[in-house]
Each structure stands twice: as C-alpha cells, then as structure tokens.
Amino acid sequence: MFSSLLAFLGLLSPWSLLDPQTPLGPSVPYINPALNGGSMLDSSAGLGEPLNIIVSAFSSPKVLNTGGLENWARSFDFSTECFGINLGGPQSANLGDGRGWVNQTAVLRYDYMNVGVGTCLESLSGGNHFRFWQQVNTGAYFLACSVEEWLGQGHNIVPNGYDLGRDAIVASAEGQTSYKGVTYLSTVEYVTGLLTPGSTGINHGIAIDGKVAIITVKIK
C-alpha cells in the first residue's frame, strides 16, 4: 500500500501539491548582476553608463516583454527610434544571467508627445532617452537612462545627465499613465548599493549619485 501511495505521488507535478492561492510568479524583483560576473554599468567607449532604472520582475507579466515595455514607455511619451534608425552604435550589458555581454534590445527616446515623429526631433535636438536589456533569469528590465546634447554636440551626455535622465523618467512614469486603452500604475523605490557613487568607470567622466530606481508596473 505504501509503495502504491509513493507511485501516485510521483505522478503529481510539484505545483499540484501547492495551495491554489500560492503565487507562482518570480521570487525576486531582480538579481544584482555583479553576483554572477555581471555589471551595473553597460559597455560604452571603453567605459560604462549606469543601469539606473530597473523595471521589477514583480511587474505585470504583460509588461515584461519588449512590446509590453515599449507600450508602457509610450504612456509617458517615450517611443522607438526615428524611423527605426539608430544614429549611434549599440551598447552591451552583462546582467549576470549567464548570457555574458549582449547588445541592447532597443533605444527609446522622448517623443515630445508625438509617437509618430517626435523621436526624430529628440535625435536632432537632444533630450532624454534610455537603452534597455532584459535579465532572462528574472524577467526584470534594466534601463540605462540619460539626457543628451543635440546632434551638433555629438549627442554627448549633459552635466549630471545620468541622474537627470533617471529622475525625469521616474517623474513622468510614477503613478497612473495610459496608452492605447492600457492603464498602468507604477510605483517607485530608490535603492543604493548596486551602483558606486562618483565618476569612476563612467563614460564622459560624469559623476552619479549611486541610486537605482526600482519601478514596479501594474496593469489596472
């Protein structure tokens, strides 16, 4: 009889033994890339730019894919590149998820409240933008945000541009936003310890305050 019981239990999935109310989602909002050989700086011109926003893996699943993240970004006026043209080379990041250094998924730019052509204006006149990568072992997205100069200045980063870019996105995204019938509620927490304050290793020698904004995005 005991052997029959063991055989029956062996047929069950481990999940079938859980209470139906037990959440099956991610157990952590993100993992520090440095814990597995990664970095919170991407690779740019031999130095790095800070990954200063993380979209938490606790966000709604429909946000945690490329199309979902881009739709959320459009809800606070960030869109894909002007006619899909990237004027600069891709940057890479190692998120400690076993893939090593991989190129950015995309760049999203402030669209001046015009999804169609607004990013063309940003590409010329400068402004806020971010690159993003997904950490595949958690589902979280890591964003490198910064404010850049206009094209005539070579799209260099403005003074304090990394912190300014992060904070401007937080100010626009926090709370309730919507796009194409989807309403988002984004909550923000700033954490320290992932990035080192100062300018060591930072592209353009621009100092950062070391804070990372953790954004959890829920679809209402």
pLDDT in tens, 112-153: 776 766 666 666 666 899 999 999 999 999 999 999 876 655
150, 156, 159, 161 alpha-carbon torsion, rounded to 10°: 90
As a whole-number percent, the residues of the chain with pLDDT over 90 amount to 68
- Give residue limits of the domains in the chain: 47-219
Position 93 scores a pLDDT of 98
- Residue 86 pLDDT > 90, yes or no? no
DSSP 66: H
| Mean pLDDT value of segment 76-97 | 80
Position 10 scores a pLDDT of 38
Position 127 scores a pLDDT of 81
pLDDT in tens, 170-193: 999 999 999 999 999 999 999 999
As a whole-number percent, the residues of the chain with pLDDT over 70 amount to 77
Position 11 scores a pLDDT of 35
- Residue 23 pLDDT > 50, yes or no? no
Among 114, 109, 117, residue whose Cα is nearest residue 144: 109
Position 121 scores a pLDDT of 66
What percentage of the chain's residues is helix, strand, coil (to nearest 5)?
25, 30, 45
Please provide the average confidence, as pLDDT, over all residues in the chain. 85
3-state secondary structure of 75: coil
Q: Is the Cβ–Cβ distance between 170 and 163 less than 8 Å?
A: no
Say what the pTM is.
Answer: 0.84
Q: Is the Cβ–Cβ distance between 169 and 145 less than 8 Å?
A: yes
